[in-house]
Amino acid sequence: MPKPPERAVQLMAHIAAAQRLWLERTRSQPQTAPVWPQWSLLETARELPALGGEWTRLIATEDLSRRFDYVNTKGQSFQNTVGDAALHVVFHGIYHRGQIAALVRQYGGEPAYTDFIQAVRSEAVSSSG
């Protein structure tokens, strides 16, 4: 879309920021971006490939059952596994991408085709390690 809905842009930035936040949590690093950053679509587009690569490396090399401690944005302490965090990031992104698709349609656009099995069939992504 030449001019995507502002809410859709905000949601994409939030998806990227959440991916970064959970990577930082799994590594016991401080949070470097707000959960709802004011990133442009271009800034978000720059973030996502690097984050995807970091998650791919983490999943391929990390013990997914490893537990880590973190404090959430409300100041509450928790402990989860790396695998739990990875699944959360995937499900979180799916949820918000559905919202983005609905917004794009509402504003007369055609949302991106995000069917996972089609992406595997076309070799746009690999489902194996």
> Dihedral, CA atoms, 96, 86, 43, 108, nearest 10 degrees?
-20
Q: What is the pLDDT of residue 128?
A: 65
**Mutual angle of helices 82-106 and 41-61, in 10-degree steps:** 150
CATH topology assigned to domain 6-121: Four Helix Bundle (Hemerythrin (Met), subunit A) (1.20.120)
Q: Find out whether 17 and 35 touch, Cβ atoms under 8 Å.
A: yes
pLDDT tens-place string over residues 49-99:
999 999 999 999 999 999 999 999 999 999 999 999 999 999 999 999 999
pLDDT tens-place string over residues 93-108:
999 999 999 999 999 9
Q: Find out whether 17 and 48 touch, Cβ atoms under 8 Å.
A: no
Q: What tokens were used for 11?
A: 């949601």
